[in-house]
Structure 1
Amino acid sequence: MRPENLRLRRYILALSTLALISLSTPLALSHDAPKGWTYPFACCSGYDCREVPKQAISERPQGYVIEGTGEVVTYQDARIHESPDGRYHWCSVAGADDSKTICLFVPPKSY
């Protein structure tokens, strides 16, 4: 077999393998909270959101304060959502503990 044909065959095999892998891998649109509800895609890329203890978020007159970063999310902020399970969930950039808030799920006032 000529070297050019061998290279072409290897190239086609590599492309076919990549195509097969990409088709068999499910898309990560969002992920589930521990209690089974799904974080909205706008808040989560599969790893940005997690449940946090109530001590991680405090309510102050100016809004919700993320204790780890000092960031204040005002009560009128569109990033705030009611938590379906009555617990705090924080979605931050790349899921990092020291990054900005993407979404914050808070317990309803009745909890």
Structure 2
Amino acid sequence: MLIAAVAFIIFVMCGGARAHDATPTAAKPQGWSYPFSCCSGYDCREVPHDWITESPDGYHIVITGEVIPMSDTKIKRSPDGRFHWCSVAGANDGKTICLFAPPRGM
């Protein structure tokens, strides 16, 4: 039990529980951190705007064919106004974990 507790403390202190950061932009010059619930350190990244299309039924992830309804909790506000996509294992064919989207209509 003590060994497990010490291992957990070391894991947290070494950054194992932290999500990784988005690249700095003009809107967020210091960058921002993806929430751990969306990213395990490699699942999230900024994607080109043409990878995501917006329609009345939701956001379409062009490369996977997924449609994420606007009301889905996977949809998050993008802090820098750009699309960021978190997929299983960071794979281009992975299912969506989170989608950070700019305000609608942009």
TM-score by length of 2: 0.78
Match of 2:63 among 37, 59, 68: 68
Q: CA deviation at 1:105?
A: 0.2
Q: CA deviation at 1:29?
A: 2.1
Distance 1:79 1:68 in 2: 17
Q: CA deviation at 1:89?
A: 0.2
Distance 2:64 2:94 in 1: 7
Match of 1:30 among 16, 19, 22: 19
Q: CA deviation at 1:61?
A: 1.9
1:30 is paired with a residue whose SS is: coil
Match of 1:51 among 40, 46, 53: 46
Would you identify which runs of 4 or more consecutive aligned residues in structure 1 move more than 2 Å? 22-26
Distance 1:26 1:42 in 2: 15
Which residue identity is paired with 1:67?
V
Structure 2 residue 84 is matched with structure 1 residue 89 = yes
> Gaps (5+ residues) in structure 1?
1-18
Distance 2:73 2:89 in 1: 19
Residue identity over aligned pairs, in percent, reads 60
Aligned length: 91
Structure 2 residue 103 is matched with structure 1 residue 108 = yes
Which residue identity is paired with 2:18?
L
Q: CA deviation at 1:33?
A: 0.3
TM-score by length of 1: 0.75
Q: CA deviation at 1:62?
A: 1.1
